[in-house]
């Protein structure tokens, strides 16, 4: 249209896109827009007001198709076809919440459930409007119920589609909190999914971890204290395989799950027993992205608060070295957890070997450097406490920079 020398009637133009309207709809303020433009305006949260009148326009307000204007536009396009104007096709009827309620009912019937799942998956990928209506129709709850039924029947048919839908529309926190009674069974079902085999293995397990993360985030403390060893075996088992079995986003979701379970000592012991410490160190040695490193160090800090966790940490040859290396190289959050890990090791597990290891991997130098940086006072106090507690041992060693160390411990 930009290269065509033809005057377009101004009321054919969308006030937002400034393009000729393909599917004109009228808002409650009386102004007509192209459906795609006004829906994007509302769903992306640019404003809660009508772009033209500036009157309040709720995000979920009704948009009435303007059939008369659409026919006028189509007729005008046909009359000017010889000038290169493309005809605008009649838009398909808009899908609403009731269509998704119908699809949810079809999930109850064996003959129609796969067709309904595939349609839900397809519609969820199309646009924000569909996803909005799916949330209103409680599709996330229906998908979780479907996954639970698959677990009970030990059947994987439809799981890929159900998890794909959940990944696209997410589980609203408000809805997850209402599933308190079902959370235990939902968690068991998602853990079961992690042990199943699929054609699109990495994607399905990533989606399962994403759903599990939302459920764990909203779970009650009572439920989190009742988590079983199988739960941690499944989560840590996937982490051990790294990005070969799950996407980076899936790994981060799995790490969030472990971090949310860390406050309880029983959970920390089960993580240590499943060799989580070693798995986390190996994952960190692969130099992951910043967020992954912060999550890993956060979990390691919790696990190092118990004796068994510290023992496993020190048994790994790369543990002390990789934590030291990340300090001052990733983010303030990583610095915080890294220094706290070294502080726990220094305070509770400082054997002669550990003291020598801290010097060999550069922890002493890194802590001295941290004292020169602009960082939180409490972090400098932690670093200074570590240096002072073992300065006598380090000063006896020939390879130590005595000038650097004594500058701070006096």
Each residue's pLDDT tens digit, 224-257: 999 999 999 999 999 998 777 788 999 999 999 9
Average pLDDT value for residue range 20-25: 93
Strand partners, 5: none
pLDDT range class, residue 40, cuts 50, 70, 90: confident
Average pLDDT value for residue range 335-359: 93
Instruction: Give the whole-number percent of the chain exceeding pLDDT 70.
Output: 92
Judged by DSSP in three states, 240 sits in helix
**Which of 315, 328, 323 is CA-nearest to residue 297?**
323
Average pLDDT value for residue range 119-148: 90
Residue 293 confidence (pLDDT): 97
Answer yes or no: are the C-beta atoms of 3 and 24 closer than 8 Å.
no
pLDDT range class, residue 347, cuts 50, 70, 90: very high
Task: Lay out the sheet containing 64-65: strands in order across.
Answer: 32-34, 24-26, 64-65
Strand partners, 13: 20
Answer yes or no: are the C-beta atoms of 271 and 258 closer than 8 Å.
yes
pLDDT range class, residue 81, cuts 50, 70, 90: confident
For 236, the token pair is: 């840590």
Residue 207 confidence (pLDDT): 94
Q: Which residues contact 200 (CB under 8 A, 6 or more apart)?
A: 160
The Cα 45–Cα 42 span in angstroms is: 5
How far from chain centre, in Å, is Cα 129?
Answer: 22
Instruction: Give the whole-number percent of the chain exceeding pLDDT 90.
Output: 59
Q: Which residues contact 257 (CB under 8 A, 6 or more apart)?
A: 209, 212, 213, 216, 235
Half-sphere exposure of residue 240: CA atoms within 13 angstroms, side-chain side: 12
- Confidence check: pLDDT of 376 > 90: no
Q: Give the chain's count of helices (H) and strands (E).
A: 23, 3
Average pLDDT value for residue range 317-338: 95
- Confidence check: pLDDT of 89 > 60: yes
Sign of CA dihedral 70, 76, 82, 84: negative
- Confidence check: pLDDT of 321 > 90: yes
Residue 322 confidence (pLDDT): 96
Tell me which residue has tokens 């409680």.
138
- Confidence check: pLDDT of 221 > 80: yes
Answer yes or no: are the C-beta atoms of 328 and 322 closer than 8 Å.
no
Question: What confidence tens digit (pLDDT) does each residue in 41-57 have?
Answer: 877 765 678 899 988 88
Residue 402 confidence (pLDDT): 64
Average pLDDT, the chain: 89
Q: Is the model more confident about 285 or about 62?
A: 285
- Confidence check: pLDDT of 60 > 80: no
**Which of 362, 370, 356, 278 is CA-nearest to residue 315?**
278
Task: Report phi then psi at 26, rounded to 5.
Answer: -105, 130
pLDDT range class, residue 272, cuts 50, 70, 90: very high
How far from chain centre, in Å, is Cα 215?
Answer: 12
- Confidence check: pLDDT of 4 > 60: no
Angle between helices 402-409 and 363-372 (to 10 degrees): 50
Answer yes or no: are the C-beta atoms of 254 and 246 closer than 8 Å.
yes
């Amino acid at each position: 249209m930009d290269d065509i020398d033809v005057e377009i009637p101004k009321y054919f133009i969308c006030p937002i896109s400034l393009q000729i309207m393909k599917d004109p709809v009228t808002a409650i303020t009386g102004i007509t827009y192209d459906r795609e433009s006004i829906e994007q305006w509302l769903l992306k949260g640019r404003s809660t007001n009508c772009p033209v009148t500036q009157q309040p326009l709720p995000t979920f307000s009704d948009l009435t198709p303007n059939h008369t204007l659409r026919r006028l536009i189509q007729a005008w396009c046909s009359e000017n076809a010889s000038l290169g104007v493309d005809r605008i096709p009649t838009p398909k009827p808009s899908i609403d919440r009731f269509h998704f309620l119908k699809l949810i009912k079809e999930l109850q019937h064996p003959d129609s459930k796969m067709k309904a799942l595939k349609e839900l998956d397809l519609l969820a990928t199309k646009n924000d409007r569909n996803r909005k209506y799916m949330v209103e129709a409680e599709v996330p709850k229906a998908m979780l119920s479907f996954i639970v039924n698959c677990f009970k029947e030990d059947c994987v048919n439809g799981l890929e589609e159900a998890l794909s839908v959940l990944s696209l529309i997410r589980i609203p926190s408000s809805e997850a909190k209402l599933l308190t009674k079902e959370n235990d069974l939902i968690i068991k079902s998602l853990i079961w999914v992690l042990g199943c085999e699929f054609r699109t293995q990495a994607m399905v397990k990533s989606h399962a971890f994403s759903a599990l993360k939302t459920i764990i985030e909203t779970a009650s403390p009572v439920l989190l204290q009742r988590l079983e060893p199988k739960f941690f075996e499944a989560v840590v088992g996937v982490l051990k395989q790294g990005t070969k079995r799950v996407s980076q986003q899936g790994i981060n979701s799995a790490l969030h799950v472990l971090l949310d379970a860390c406050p309880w000592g029983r959970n920390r012991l089960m993580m240590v027993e499943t060799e989580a410490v070693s798995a986390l160190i190996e994952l960190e040695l692969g130099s992951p992205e910043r967020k992954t490193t912060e999550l890993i160090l956060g979990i390691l800090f919790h696990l190092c608060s118990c004796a068994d966790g510290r023992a496993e940490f020190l048994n790994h040859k790369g543990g002390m070295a990789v934590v030291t290396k990340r300090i001052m190289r990733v983010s303030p959050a990583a610095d915080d957890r890294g220094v706290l890990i070294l502080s726990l090791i220094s305070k509770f597990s400082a054997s002669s070997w550990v003291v020598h290891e801290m010097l060999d991997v550069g922890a002493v130098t890194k802590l001295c450097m941290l004292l020169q940086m602009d960082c939180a006072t409490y972090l400098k106090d932690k670093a200074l406490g570590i240096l002072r507690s073992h300065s006598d041992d380090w000063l006896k060693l020939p390879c130590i920079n005595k000038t650097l160390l004594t500058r701070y411990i006096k």
